[in-house]
């Protein structure tokens, strides 16, 4: 049975310009931001429609899915906030996106997590996704014993593919991923991971 993982609301992973923080499942500001971010035209085009279009639905999602990921892995979906100045606290910073390190629930899960990111449309092109993902990966390796990491994205999404390459992940080909319903996606992995991806549960 997983224990309830509940980091303090003040906890963050700081980077040069950002704070990366856990979603607080009971925080209405977090619910409202998720609804805003996930219903932008850009998000729906690249990630699909989540159906989470009200704060009530976002709260239910956070209490169930987000918290379950935290309990199981101590990682999952994180908020990204922009510092107004280099020494700013998390509370002083402005929510601009999300970064994730997701590992599904067995048996529908790969044995290594995958990194993901999405920013508000007006914050794209500023390097925030790369900075947030690098900060989260560094923390996960240092504190959560995460080693191998996947990156999945649409084969037709050059911006996401560039970010994965900046993170040091290597392109491992196009695969029809069962966890995403058999869609053909670009698969990236950290260099130390085996060339035989079936050992991590990836097959097509």
> Looking at residues 21-34, what average pLDDT do you find?
97
* CA distance linking residue 36 with residue 127, whole number of Å: 21
Q: Which residues contact 94 (CB under 8 A, 6 or more apart)?
A: 81, 82, 84
Tens digit of pLDDT for each residue in 140-180?
999 999 989 999 988 888 888 999 999 999 999 999 887 77
Could you state, in order of their start, the residue ranges of all structural domains in the chain? Answer: 13-200
Candidates 117, 131, 113; CA nearest to 190 is: 113
Nearest 5°: phi and psi at 134?
Answer: -60, -40
Asked if the model's pLDDT at residue 62 lies above 90, the reply is yes
pLDDT of residue 47: 85
Give the CATH architecture of domain 13-200.
3-Layer(aba) Sandwich (3.40)
């Amino acid at each position: 049975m997983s224990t309830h993982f509940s980091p303090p609301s003040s906890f963050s992973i700081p980077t040069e310009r950002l704070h990366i923080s856990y979603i607080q499942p009971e925080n209405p500001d977090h619910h409202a931001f998720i609804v805003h971010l996930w219903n932008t035209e850009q998000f729906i085009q690249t990630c699909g429609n989540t159906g989470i279009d009200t704060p009530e639905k976002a709260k239910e999602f956070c209490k169930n899915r987000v918290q379950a990921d935290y309990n199981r892995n101590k990682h999952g979906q994180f908020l990204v906030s922009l510092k107004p100045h280099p020494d700013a606290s998390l509370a002083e910073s402005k929510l601009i996106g999300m970064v994730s390190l997701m590992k599904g629930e067995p048996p529908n899960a790969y044995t290594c997590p995958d990194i993901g990111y999405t920013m508000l449309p007006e914050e794209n092109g500023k390097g925030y996704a790369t900075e947030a993902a690098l900060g989260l990966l560094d923390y996960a390796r240092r504190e959560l014993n995460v080693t191998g990491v996947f990156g999945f994205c649409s084969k037709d999404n050059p911006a996401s593919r560039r970010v994965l390459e900046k993170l040091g992940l290597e392109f491992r080909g196009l695969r029809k991923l069962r966890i995403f319903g058999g869609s053909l996606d670009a698969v990236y992995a950290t260099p130390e991971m085996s060339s035989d991806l079936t050992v991590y549960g990836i097959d097509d």
